[in-house]
Amino acid sequence: MAQPQLVIMGAPGAGKGTQCAKITEEFGIDHITTGDALRSNKEMDISDMDTEYDTPGEYMDQGELVPDEVVNAIVDEALSQADGFVLDGYPRNMEQAEELEGMTDLDLVLYLDVGEEELVHRLTGRRLDPETDEIYHVEYNPPEDPEVEDRLVQREDDTEETVKERLRVYQENTEPVIEHYEEEGVLERVDGEQSPDEVWEDVKATIEDAA
């Protein structure tokens, strides 16, 4: 059987990162995440692309989308090297969805469904350990080691103001993409407000059914 080719969708904070780590381990496929790829290339010079700002970081720090041209190129390159994948953070709008159709076929689009109030709570409380890249939450998942607690940092775009803007931008751009995949019959919804283990049970079963 060919390796699964998936897109995972859900608002920022819906738990995509947590589930993707489990998916890649279970199915042995690549995790392609545009958010991480862009964070590693925040200072990349894109001034020759006729964009408003000269680097991806300037868009990201304001919660705006990085121009399609930049993101499409990142995804195209990563897909060409993958044998099975879970694509995370892309497509974020209909233009990207159309571009993706020209690059590859999809077995399944998984949608992690989480309400807005819960999303804001999750994101503003999220903290990162810069030494291990481990993710914590001040309330749901604080570190046991006080030394780790002291060095935790907040992602620059996890402040309340930027979070609300990211959720607004997400909804505005991504709603049509979700409707599009729903009409095509490839979208499956999973209740993302359950515990991470319960979400994983549903996610795993849904992928196995689609493959």
Report the nearest approach of ligand AMP to the CB of residue 208 (Å).
Answer: 26
Q: Is 90 in the site for ligand AMP (CB under 6 A)?
A: yes
The stretch near ligand AMP (CB under 6 A) out of 31-39, 99-107, 126-134, 192-200 is 31-39
The stretch near ligand AMP (CB under 6 A) out of 61-69, 77-85, 133-141, 184-192 is 61-69
SS3 20: helix
User: Under rule CB under 6 A, which residues in 96-155 are in contact with ligand AMP?
Assistant: 96
Query: Which of 172, 198 has the CB closer to ligand AMP?
Result: 172
Whether the CB-CB separation of 11 and 117 falls below 8 Å is answered with: no
Both tokens assigned to 172: 């505005």
Q: Is 66 in the site for ligand AMP (CB under 6 A)?
A: yes
Could you say which DSSP state residue 141 is in? B
Q: Is 35 in the site for ligand AMP (CB under 6 A)?
A: yes
Active site (annotated) includes residue 126:
yes
Which residue of 14, 86, 92, 199 would you call a contact of ligand AMP, by CB under 6 A?
A: 92
Both tokens assigned to 65: 């989308």
Report the nearest approach of ligand AMP to the CB of residue 19 (Å).
Answer: 14
Active-site choice (22, 42, 151, 155): 155
CA 20 to chain CA centroid, nearest Å = 9
CA 28 to chain CA centroid, nearest Å = 18
CA separation for the pair 110, 118 (Å, rounded): 19
- In the chain, where does DSSP find H-type helix? 16-27, 34-39, 56-60, 68-80, 94-103, 116-124, 146-151, 160-184, 196-210
Active site (annotated) includes residue 166:
yes
Planar angle of CA 31, 167, 136, nearest 5 degrees: 55
* Contacting residues for 41 by C-beta, under 8 A, at least 6 apart: 56, 74
C-beta nearest to ligand AMP: residue: 35
Active site (annotated) includes residue 155:
yes
Q: Is 14 in the site for ligand AMP (CB under 6 A)?
A: no
CA separation for the pair 125, 122 (Å, rounded): 5
Q: 35 labelled as ligand-binding? A: no
Kindly list the catalytic residues: 16, 92, 126, 155, 166
Contacting positions for ligand AMP (CB under 6 A): 12, 34-35, 38, 59-60, 63-66, 71, 89-90, 92, 96, 157, 166
